[in-house]
Amino acid sequence: MYPNPCRHLIQLRTDGTGKSALTRLPSGRWWQVLGSTTGGAYQVFLSWGNTTAQFDNVATGFHSDAFVAFPDAFVSITGQPNATFFVAVSE
C-alpha cells in the first residue's frame, strides 16, 4: 500500500462500552489501524482542533484504509468492548 516502513505501533484500548480515548498520533507520513485482539467491526474517528469526523467503518474487523498523517491529529476507535487495537504509523 505504501513503501515506507512502520515507525510507530500505537495500542488503543477500548473500555467496557467499546470506546477508546483520543490518542495523539506521532509524526509520520501514513497511519493505518491493523486490527484488534478481538476482531469484529469498528469505526475510526479523527479529531483535529474542534472537529471530529468518522474516517472509516471497518465491518470486517481487519485493517482500515491507510490515511495521510498530519500534525496535531488525534485518533479514537469505537468497536468491541475491552479490545486492544493496533495503529501503525509509517515514516
Per the CB < 8 A criterion, the answer to whether 43 and 56 are in contact is yes
Spatial CA neighbour of 44 closest among 72, 68, 17, 74:
74
Residue-level pLDDT at 28: 85
Per the CB < 8 A criterion, the answer to whether 81 and 15 are in contact is yes
pLDDT tens across the length of the chain (91 residues): 555 677 889 999 999 999 999 999 888 889 999 999 998 999 999 998 899 999 999 998 889 988 888 878 899 999 999 999 999 998 7
Task: Tell me the fold of 6-90.
Answer: Jelly Rolls (2.60.120)
Gyration radius of the chain's alpha carbons: 12
Residue-level pLDDT at 45: 95
Residues paired with residue 81 on neighbouring β-strands, in sequence order: none
Q: Where are the domains of the chain?
A: 6-90
What are the cell numbers at 84? 486492544
Residue-level pLDDT at 4: 64
Which string of DSSP letters, residue by residue, matches 66-81?
Answer: -EE--TT-EEEEE-ST
